[in-house]
Amino acid sequence: MVIAMQDLQQISTVTALSIRSLPQRLGSSTIIVVSIAGVVAVLIGVLTLADSLLRTIGGATQPDRAIVLIKGARAEGGSNLQRTEVSTIQAAPGIGKNAAGHAIASPEVIAVVAVREKKDNARAEVVVRGVTALAFDLRPEIKVIAGRLPQTGLHELLVGQAAANQYKSLDLGNQVTMRGVKWTVVGLFAAEGNLRESELFADAETLMSAYQRTTFQSVAIKLATADSFTTLKDALTTDPSLSVDVVTETQYYSQQYEFLGKILQTIAYIVGGIMAVGAMSGAINCMYSAISARGIEIATLRAIGFSAFSVVASVLAEALLLALIGAAIGAAIAWLLLSGNSFSTQVGMGPVVSQLQVAPSLIVVGVAWACTIGFLGGLVPALRAARIPVATALREI
Amino acid sequence: MTYAIQMKNIVKTYTRGKQKVEVLHNLNLEVEKGEFISLMGPSGSGKTTLLNLIAGLDNPTGGELIVAGERIDKLSGGQLAKWRARNIGFVFQFYNLLPVLTAERNVEVPLLLTSLSAAQRKQNVAAALQLVGLADRAKHKPNELSGGQQQRVSIARALVADPTLLVCDEPTGDLDRENAEEILRLLQMLNRNHGKTIVMVTHDPRAADHATRQVHMDKGSLVDSNARSAA
């Protein structure tokens, strides 16, 4: 125990000396900090895009919700369901009921409308979802935060607040032209930051009429319980009058967006990895130069009797300290640039507007990367400093 | 007779590429406790190599080396480090003080390898600085001290853990005549009044005259070892 304490004292002494002499090595220390900050900022930044996108999409899904599309359709845009089919679907077993005793099976239709980005006036398209009152029983997370719901038969829109924040002319009272008709924004809604907030809601029949459609595109269903999915699916897929696919909401959106999220994550790790290799090379060079600058100190301490291990530990501690400073700066940069902003990406029929939030777990990932870079960057120079014979080290002074 | 150093047939060979170069040839030397010897010789004669072996900074290739009562020629690097901490005080030509530490903190460094309490360390540091006449400079950093003062701090650091042997590598090589004389008188005082065994490498015959014995080397061998009274 005494030996262990002395070893710790040696390590803390040599490390303290190393850290106290950092100001004398400001240049090389700054290179390490800046390069690691760059890696961490980029890594956290791109991962935040992926994370925010997946969180936005994931927030819109519930295990007790399902979507029915025409057989073979991969998305709502490619699906058509006749009114008779919708009625059959609504009568299927396994569907939850609302307070009035109606099956919560919301027939929906979607269209797109051209809008302009607020930040740069760029053209974009947003989804307009035609719904019935059942859509709000289905999605209780949707809360009207200003104005009211659109009325049946009127050209009125309920706008998601993410869409309203991102695009022009979607604020309360604004008008949007669709098919030559002006639609008035009569309400704004929040949906816990999920995918729905990127959309506009309208009365389904009015929207279908405007677009001269006679079919719905999907039926979104609230299951009686999460376990009712099999019951529903079996009933619908074995009904000879229907030719439909039934998937859970989670499955549906995973198919739609998970690939994009994975691509973003892969990009983050590839770009971050390439930058990390560069940062590690820089760290190795800088730690060599730091050790060279501390040559007298290291050789003298080892001559006096300090162990080679304490030298290794001190070099690694210095590298890790610089890495942590770099990680803190990188995380702060990512947070300052991203937090509170939104990120819009065009997926499928419309954009997904994600509120960017730097998650604590991503900061942990950034810190872990920084520590790995610092550790590996410091290890080679540290081992060399420890392996060089003391007599040789003293001669090189 | 009690010896501080006993060398029997010491050989040191370095490998340069495929060639083996023997730089010390069958050296035999005995240094009694309380002696102050100077190692002299031309550049390349092997005196620094010999000093490194005595100080446990390097292992001989052959022979038997007993220093401070312990056979050290077979010790590993880690064992030698612990042995040095207990037995050797170093005085370097360029002082090798740690620039970020004050004089007293520099002197304290070897004590951090002991189990002494902070209060005991402080006491020992104060005594060592007092001994070298720098008690009033305890709070100064090396760059605030003259060369002679820095070397005295270095000597205080070498002494503070009460090592068996002081190993001095050209301790006056970076000093002017006056400061060099002060340092040599200090080493002499430590030898005479405190019984410190000192091994000093020097090129300077005047510095060597302060030792109780001069050992001359040439081409890796001892050529002369005269016991003589110090000046």
Tell me the nearest-neighbour CA distance from B89 into chain A, angstroms.
7
Count CB pairs under 8 A between chains A and B.
68
Closest approach of chain A CAs to the CA of B52, in angstroms?
Answer: 7
- Name every chain A residue with its beta carbon within 8 A of the beta carbon of B83: 305
Task: Report the distance separating Cα A277 and Cα A28, nearest Å.
Answer: 17
Tokens of B193: 């009044």
Query: What is d(CA B65, CA B82) in angstroms, rounded to the nearest whole number?
Result: 17
pLDDT greater than 70 at residue B54: yes
Q: Which residues of B fall below an 8 Å CB-CB distance to A?
A: 48, 52, 55, 57-58, 77-78, 81-86, 88, 90, 92, 94, 96, 98-101, 109-110, 112-113, 115, 157
pLDDT of residue A377: 87
- Cα–Cα distance measured from residue A41 to residue A331, given in angstroms and rounded to the nearest whole number: 6
Contact B55 A6 (CB under 8 A): no
In chain A, the DSSP E strands lie at 65-70, 105-116, 123-131, 143-147, 156-160, 175-178, 181-190, 200-203, 218-222, 244-248, 342-347, 350-355
Q: Which residues of B touch A305 (CB under 8 A)?
A: 81-86, 88, 110, 113
CB–CB of A306 and B113 under 8 A?
A: yes
The enclosing H or E element of A164 equals helix A161-166
- Whether the CB-CB separation of A80 and A217 falls below 8 Å is answered with yes
Instruction: Say how far apart CA B151 and CA B157 lie, in whole Å.
Output: 10
**Which positions 237-296 of A are in contact with B (Cβ < 8 Å)?**
296
- pLDDT tens digits, one per residue of A67-88: 999 999 888 888 999 999 999 9
Mutate which of B92, B102, B106, B150 to test chain A, going by most A C-beta atoms within 10 A? Answer: B92
pLDDT computed for residue A308 by the predictor: 86
Smallest CA–CA distance from A20 into chain B, residue: B100
Spell out the per-residue pLDDT of chain A, length 397, in tens: 455 667 787 888 888 888 888 887 888 889 889 989 998 998 898 888 888 877 777 777 778 899 999 999 888 888 999 999 999 999 999 999 998 999 999 999 999 999 998 888 888 889 999 999 999 999 999 999 999 999 988 999 999 999 999 899 899 999 999 888 999 999 999 998 888 898 999 999 999 999 999 999 999 999 998 889 999 999 999 999 999 999 998 888 777 776 777 787 888 888 888 888 888 888 888 888 877 777 788 889 999 999 888 888 888 888 899 999 999 999 999 999 988 887 777 665 567 777 888 999 999 999 999 999 999 988 888 888 888 888 888 876 5
Confidence band (pLDDT; 50, 70, 90) for B68? very high
Q: How far, in Å, CA of A144 to CA of B100, rounded?
A: 65
Radius of gyration of chain B (CA): 17
Q: What is the pLDDT of residue A348?
A: 59
Q: Is A39 left (phi over 0), alpha (psi -120 to 50) or beta?
A: alpha
Do residue B113 and residue A300 have CB atoms under 8 angstroms apart?
no
Is A308 within 8 Å of B98 when comparing Cβ atoms? Answer: no
Contact A335, A108 (CB under 8 A): no
A155: closest CA among A128, A185, A200?
Answer: A185
Q: Which CA distances in Å does B218 have to B42, B127, B204, B221?
A: 7, 40, 15, 6
Q: B45: which DSSP letter?
A: S
> What is the number of residues in chain B?
231
Structure tokens at A119: 């930040």
The answer to whether A304 contacts chain B (CB < 8 Å) is yes
- In tens, the pLDDT along B141-193 reads 999 999 999 999 999 999 999 999 999 999 998 889 888 999 999 999 999 99
Is the per-residue pLDDT at B231 higher than 90? no
Is the confidence at residue B209, as pLDDT, over 50? Answer: yes
Element (H, E) at A303: helix A295-304
Q: Which of A2, A24, A302 sits opposite B81 (nearest CB)?
A: A302
Give the pLDDT of residue A195: 81
Q: Determine the residue of chain B that is closest to A391 in CA distance.
A: B57
Buried b (16+ CB within 10 A) or exposed e, B26-53: ebebebebebbbbbbbeeebbbbbbbbb
Task: Tell me if A203 sits within 8 A of A186, measured CB to CB.
Answer: no
How many whole angstroms separate alpha carbon B47 and alpha carbon B32?
19
Domains of chain B: 3-227 (3.40.50.300)
- Tokens 């998650």, residue? A359
Q: Quote the pLDDT of residue A1.
A: 46
d(CA A277, CA A283) in angstroms, rounded, equals 10
Q: Mark yes or no for CB contact A389/B84 under 8 Å.
A: no
Distance from C-alpha of B44 to C-alpha of B21, rounded to nearest angstrom = 12
Query: What are the residue ranges spanned by the domains of chain A?
Result: 2-58+256-395, 72-242
d(CA A92, CA A223): 11
CB contact under 8 Å between A296 and B55, yes or no, is no
Instruction: Give pTM, 2 decimals.
Output: 0.71
Q: Do B57 and A307 touch (CB under 8 A)?
A: no
What is the Cα Rg of chain A in Å?
Answer: 30
Residue A73 near residue A245, CB atoms below 8 Å: yes
Instruction: Indicate the residue of A6, A20, A303 with minimum beta-carbon distance to B90.
Output: A303
DSSP category for residue A95: B
* Interchain CB distance below 8 Å, A305 and B85: yes
What is the distance between the alpha carbons of residues A382 and A397, in angstroms, rounded to a whole number? 17
List C-alpha distances in Å: A92 to A31, A235, A239, A274. 66, 7, 10, 54
Question: With contacts defined as CB-CB under 8 Å, which chain B residues touch A20?
Answer: 100-101
Amino acid at A61: T
pLDDT of residue B226: 62
Token pair in block for residue B31: 């240094």
Query: What CA–CA distance (Å, rounded) separates B28 from B34?
Result: 19
Q: Using the beta-carbon criterion (under 8 Å), do B113 and A6 form an inter-chain contact?
A: yes
Phi, psi of A179 (to 5 degrees): 55, 40
In whole angstroms, give the CA distance from residue A308 to residue A296.
Answer: 14
By three-state DSSP, how is residue B209 classified?
coil
